[in-house]
Structure 1
């Protein structure tokens, strides 16, 4: 197991835990409560502070600020946490904040995520695995993001919003409602613009399953009556289909409005 390689200009606080093979580049700073897993690299000029743990093989690029206190006026110094998974790439000038007492005390990012330059992940956000955030994406506080989600550049996600698994958020979108799993949202304000068919095919979902999901989508978002009622009909019609049931469960668990297609309204 190789010893950490630390540039002479880097500052490593007493108490920081460095795994085997960690590389700390020029002018980087690591705080006293930070845990860096094996083979983590801070390329240069990166700052990791707070009660922060970073999984093995993650790379953090220059001028990223990871683990500094949240941008929340209700934060009063509580010892909240930030957890970043394995094999993540955090590019230049990204900011990621830990949790708050009002939100569960934890911000978490899963494994194999790519967070591109100047993106922001706010306090108490929970981000899944294999998530891609393009440049200047803004994830507000308390947002929940599923697995395999892709965010286009300069899009913004409203606080407390949920983004379901395998969803796609188009560039320049402002999303202020929950996006169903496998959904595609575009616009300011964003609307649901169909299913993420490209993502479904990349995930090697069988054609027949995609056809059933498309039929359920039409039932849920183009039928008559209330959204929950239409979702119930789809659940009964496709009771053995895991993809459809995931979408229906997501809708039933909503605490905020579900993003709808353009010109689709809830009816009594």
Structure 2
């Protein structure tokens, strides 16, 4: 098959199409969406919350699903002000959320998670839990005898024309993926090797680069600079969210 990294044990793919390719291969998948799906899931699960990824957008179907399972909606940052609830900001979760269920729709991380929900193991990774997710993935690769694909989720161009590809690669996801790929065991594809090289070159100024990235600046200009600071922390958490059934739990 063209554009396939199958000869290698550790691979890098982008966005929803990449998640589908990895799912078709039957790989273990690590979802990397630094600003902010992955970071929010890690933070929420650390506080003991149950996170249910759901395909975007937030619509009547998503709200009905939340009602059916007794869950709260996780809103976009702007919507959370209107509805006075949790948002995609990881800092909207606290210890008081222990044991509560949340439906999380996002254009990137949640969408990729749903697409890859049938893989042998679906993990969530980011700088916050990089070492922990690598250790778990290496263990699962040996146990399940499966290859690993890291999905850099990227962003969506808000004003893409119908004839244009909507994916906007995000350097925060590329560097987060490189951080994880660098420590995974197994032969690595050329795409994975180049991603590792970008991370190795940038690792001493990782937080600065994420701060000044397009996604980082967008959040800062909207008043969410503390989110960017939080999401840039390395090995802040030992939590590894793994999809168990329909929700993420700590591995």
Do they superpose with TM above 0.5?
A: no
- Largest Rg, 1 or 2: 1
Higher helix share: 2
* TM-score scaled by length of structure 1: 0.27
Higher relative CO (CA 8 A, sep ≥ 6), structure 1 or 2?
2
Higher strand share: 1
* TM-score scaled by length of structure 2: 0.29
